[in-house]
Structure 1
Amino acid sequence: MNRSIGPSDTQIDQMRENVFARIGESLPALEHAAGRSRQVLEGPTPIVLDRRPEATPHAAQKRRNGSFLTRRLSAISLAAAALVAILVIGNAFGWGPSGGATAEAASLLEQAAVATIQTSDPTVGPDQFLQISTHAVFATYAVGPNDDPKNLASRSVFLTPSTSTLYMPADKSGEWVWQRTALKPDTFFSEKAKVYALDQWKHLGPDERTGTFRAPDGNFDGSPWLGEDLAAMPSDPGALLSYFYETSNGGSNSPEENAMVRISDVLRSGLAPAELRAALYRAFAMIPGVTVVERSATLNGQVGVAIGRQDPTRDFRQDIIVDPATGLLIGERQVQVKADANVPANTVIGWTSVTTTVVDSAP
């Protein structure tokens, strides 16, 4: 059985980190699929700070958005808490100041919520593994030795593909296995970017391109594969959205952006049971600004409906790709809505697709 319910949320968070950072001085890479991010500093020659998976293979606790770590309510005033509660209740019933998703998006998300409960979760028998396979493409923004870091147009921008496979045992306290492979860059937004990217790729050693890691209980660096506390999440969609708002630490540009990011992460983690996934879809539908952007979106050969939101402070849009008929989350993508100094408008600058199945053995 193939299911698109996903790997650790950290892998997807790294994609967003690459886009959200957008200051022009970072060369992002995968956390899970290709290692922690790398930063290129200007100088006589590029200096690459590379925290490889060999040292830090799993970084679920090291987020762009600290809200993924939160295990308690934010330290907010009573007045602010009351305002959040009013907004959540209002959005749940469609009468809040911003409302929720459009009627079309809400209908499709409700359809997905109903279908995900009817679609059986994969059963992992004794000595079997849940295999979560990911294909991801991340935008990379690099500053070379002769570039002006203050001039965004001087950056080298290209897309970096990768793959990742996680094997989760039936007994979650047992040994988990994670394989990751960084692939050769294949999409470039300038000739200079192509030269730069292929030169960087040429100098990567075998251990930087691929690796296999093992850890009991999925704690590859002492932290859980999924940073969220699933047991703390309410089953009621309105209360669930309120939970995400209240446990945000302000790392995103808005509570709505934070909630959308975290809901997407949990959906694709592979750990949320069907009832929680259904509640997550319904909570997603309560977020203001969510709309259907493409009725037939293809992601790595799979077709679904693209439902997304562009935060007013961003020049890109965040989409999830859903199959409403089955309730499966096919993947996620980022689309550059407004052209910047390097990337044309309406360009997909990152995406991740995921398939999950049960296997009898792990590497």
Structure 2
Amino acid sequence: MEQVRELGAAEAHPEEGTIRAARAALTREIARGGGRMKDPVRARRRRWTGIGIGGLVAGAAATAIVIGSVLTPPAPPSASAAEVLNETADVTIHAVDTTLKPGQYLKIEAVSKTVGYWNTAAAEDGDPNTVPSHAYRGNGDAALQIQEMETVYVPADRAADWLYVYGPKSIVARFGPRGAEVEQEVRNSPEAYGLGQDMVGRVWVMPGGVTGTQSTDPSRGGATTDGSGPAPGTVFYLDSYRPHYAEMPRDPAALLDWLRRPSGMTGNAADAWVLSSLEDPDTVNLMPADLRAAFFRAIALIPGLRVENRDGDLVTLSHYEEGNDRPRSIVIDTAQGYIAELAETQGTKSGVAGDIPDRVKKVTTTVVDALPDSVKLPEK
């Protein structure tokens, strides 16, 4: 990945600062390039998405809910998910939009909580190639929940420099009989697991919101030889749908078909793929208002989407993927027409983490008139 500059550091490392934001874009671009993700759930299970993945997460996560573990009794739903989404679409057209006055910025504050699983038995199998942290809910005997905070400043002119400010990362919970052992190992070598504090406060500049370009070098994630990956030179954006705004239908049914098509699947599996592709709320929140409204009306057509909880303007919707006994949840801010939170758990709710979701992301978006003194643009 290229085109990311760091302020206040002698040497920039774009890959370290961009991998997580590019992941969502990469998933969609792979599919659009012709590849079919026939089993996205199992594909994601093979990747440990907790400790050790540094990163750019622009629209992320955690309200006081979460899948299957609401802290207060859920309010009885007074409307269907379709009604909530269609009402939100109506609000979106007239709500606070992402169009700014010159000099203003959208300030996107993100909090994410991710559970990383550890198979400690694998560390004792005598095989030097075994990586114990490459575990998942089904085989992990220990787990850590990591909280990460980031802030992104999006300029009024989207072609100008976007700024990403690293926040602190910390262990907030441990699970399993060997959780304390794993936590101590990580605390003894925080840099090795992406928990070093040296990045806190550093600022990365993303010209035009670009997080990177597709390399031709296979050792750096270059395009695949069978054409299933993104073409060399493909540009990835933090608002990853931006290159497709013009082609995305504004008719809800047509837009849903457009969103489903890259999966190569149908029915519940295709709908689950659409929802899982929303790695970060800002993939939707940074859309133009008319497209954002169409998106809400499109997902209102997904069968099985239901209202789980209502807390003032925040409404929690859930959707079950076949073979997964935990729903994927989306929290909609019905007053502003934004996605406020995403949460999901892969596979069964059993395992050392119990009812704690694998990933929860919460984003707060406000308009600021200027950058704070601690964040400065580079001299031209």
Length-normalised TM-score, structure 2: 0.64
Task: State how far apart, in whole Å, the 2-side matches of 1:128 and 1:247 are.
Answer: 35
- Choose from 289, 292, 316 the match for 1:306: 316
Q: State whether structure 2 residue 262 is matched by structure 1 residue 247.
A: yes
Structure 1 residue 334: deviation in Å? 2.2
Aligned to 2:167: 181
Residue matched to 1:57: 17
CA contact (8 A) 1:111 1:327 kept: no
What is the count of residue pairs matched by the alignment? Answer: 280
**2:27 corresponds to:** 66
Distance in 2 between residues matched to 1:167 and 1:245, nearest whole Å? 31
Counterpart in 2 of 1:271? 286
Deviations 1:320-363 (A, max 9, x none): 0113344332211225784323232x433321111112220261
SS at match of 2:80: helix
Where does structure 2 lack aligned partners over 5 or more consecutive residues?
A: 1-11, 37-77, 191-195, 214-235, 376-380
Match of residue 110, structure 2, among 134, 137, 144: 134
Cα distance, 1:349–1:63 mapped onto 2, change above 3 Å? closer
CA RMSD of aligned residues (A): 3.4
> More displaced, 193-202 or 308-317?
193-202
- Partner Cα distance (1:131, 1:155) in 2: 39
The one-letter code sitting in structure 2 at the alignment partner of 1:66 is T
Q: Which amino acid aligns with 2:175?
A: F
Q: What one-letter code is carried by the residue in structure 2 that aligns with 1:358?
A: V
Does the 8 Å contact 1:309/1:317 carry over to 2? yes
Alignment of structure 1 residues 196-345 onto 2, 5 Å:
196-204=182-190, 205-207=196-198, 211-222=202-213, 223-228=236-241, 229-248=244-263, 254-262=269-277, 265=280, 268-296=283-311, 304-334=314-344, 338-344=348-354
Structure 1: tracts of 5 or more residues without a match: 1-51, 76-101, 297-301
Task: Give the Cα separation in 2 of the matches to 1:260 and 1:349.
Answer: 15
Q: For 1:245, what is the secondary structure of its paired residue?
A: helix
Distance 1:197 1:209 in 2: 21
Deviation at 1:315, TM superposition (A): 3.3
Partners of 1:280 and 1:264 lie apart in 2 by: 15
Tell me the amino acid that sits aligned with residue 142 of structure 2. Answer: S
- For the Cα contact (< 8 Å) 1:306–1:320, is it kept in 2? yes
- The 1:156/1:280 distance shift into structure 2, 3 A limit, reads same
Residues 181-217 of structure 1: CA distance to partner in whole angstroms, max 9, x if unpaired? 3421111222522331343144223335664211211
Cα offset, 1:56, TM superposition: 3.5
Cα separation, partners in 2 of 1:185 and 1:64, compared to 1, 3 Å: farther
CA distance in 2, matches of 1:221, 1:110: 35
Letter in 2 for 1:225: L
